[in-house]
Chains A and B, each alone.
Chain A
Amino acid sequence: MTDTAALQQPTSEPDLFAQLASLTSNLRSALDRFRRDSRLNALAEKEIPDARQRLSHVLKMTDAAAHRTMDLVEKSGPPADRTAREAAALTVPWARFRGGKIAVAEYLDLIQRIDHFLAAARTDSETVRANLNEVMLAQDFQDLTGQIIRGVINLVTEVEVVLVDLSRLAGHDASVQAKTASDDIRGHGPAVPGVDHGGTVVQGQSDIDDLLSDLGI
């Protein structure tokens, strides 16, 4: 009996190992699938909606910062214009004074105007300077939006990995589909270095001018 069992062992042992290996492999892929599925659920149900919220917040922040900056620029125009205009208006009487060709009444008027100009120029310059500081502070959105966008880039990378994985499991070819002509009509948005828009992208305004000129425009 013992001898017979010993003789049978070499044939059944590899079978047993093969079955065990197959079982282990199945278990591993089941675990992988479970891990992937639960991650996919988390991505779909929580993280992608969160990312949408975060990107909407970025839009709001950049919009608010741009408007705040433009408010300040618009507020700085009038004091800067006022200073330039009054300085220009003083140039002629000042030149007459410097040339010793000024009447007493005009001289007294000039003194008053210069007094007024110096005070107003100081106030206006301080206003413009304060607005410039505010413009600088309005750029603080870059830090915050940068952090949010970086987080979303990481999420997109993770989603890409999961999708490619799923696509392979389903036996699909993961190669990128060509852009359709309808994208051209709707528009692609700004050209981004390293992103294929499915055609030749012009390099700046002078390229466009040359192209339009060739087309008779």
Chain B
Amino acid sequence: MSKDMKFLVVDDYSTMRRIIKNLLHDLGYANVTEADDGNTALPLLQNGSFDFLITDWNMPGMAGLDLLKAVRANDKLKKMPVLMLTAEAKREQIVEAAQAGVNGYVIKPFTAQTLKEKIDKILESRAVPA
């Protein structure tokens, strides 16, 4: 995966989307698109050629977990790396996200270093042939 990767950042708060976008820019990923919930994200994912999805959980409209399930249920999208970036902190929820096929889980508030580590980890695991 290169720095040309196309990211979709889904969060209902424009400030959080802006923070994530800035951090991704700092990491060298300049190709970042934003969506404010699952309902707006899903058509973008289906019609675009995104390489990586970063999504919040608690959003009006379609929540992040439902978006994750929709991505995994879609033939075109099912292998897309998905990082959950959320304030949801219940063990049961994290287990549920894992069972739904999440590739990484970062809890808010988070640091730039944590975000970098989790993205790198996901990309490294993708780079290694199974």
Chain A interface (Cβ within 8 Å of chain B)? 63, 66-67, 70, 74, 184-191, 197-202, 204-205, 208, 211-212, 215, 217
Q: Which of A185, A191, A212 contacts B94 (CB 8 A)?
A: A212
In the complex, A186 Cα to B58 Cα: how many Å?
6
Chain-A contact segment, one of B2-10, B28-36, B70-78, B102-110? B102-110
Q: Please, how many angstroms separate the alpha-carbon atoms of A199 and B40 in the complex?
A: 31
* C-alpha gap A188/B63 in the complex (Å): 11
CA A208 to CA B18, docked complex, whole Å = 25
- Choose from A63, A74, A185 the contact partner of B63 (Cβ within 8 Å): A185
Kindly list chain B residues whose C-beta atoms are within 8 Å of the C-beta of A199. Answer: 90-93
What separation, in Å, do the CA atoms of A201 and B93 have in the docked complex?
10
Q: Which of A67, A184, A205, A212 contacts B93 (CB 8 A)?
A: A184
How far, in whole Å, are A191 and B107 apart by their CA atoms in the complex?
11
State which size class the interface on B falls in.
Answer: 20 to 34
**Chain B residues, CB < 8 A from A188:** 58, 88, 90
Chain A CB within 8 A of B120 CB: no
How far is the CB of A162 from the nearest CB of chain B, in Å? 29
Distance A59 CA – B91 CA, assembled complex (angstroms): 29
Min CB distance B76 to A, Å, is 23
CB-CB under 8 A from A200, the residues of chain B are: 90-92
Beyond known contacts A70-B22, A191-B90, A197-B90: 20 more, CB 8 A cutoff: A63-B13, A63-B14, A66-B15, A67-B14, A70-B19, A74-B22, A184-B96, A185-B63, A186-B58, A187-B58, A189-B88, A199-B93, A200-B90, A200-B91, A201-B89, A201-B91, A205-B107, A217-B98, A217-B103, A217-B104
B95 cross-chain contacts in A, Cβ below 8 A: 211, 215
In the complex, what distance in Å separates the CA atom of A97 from the CA atom of B59? 60
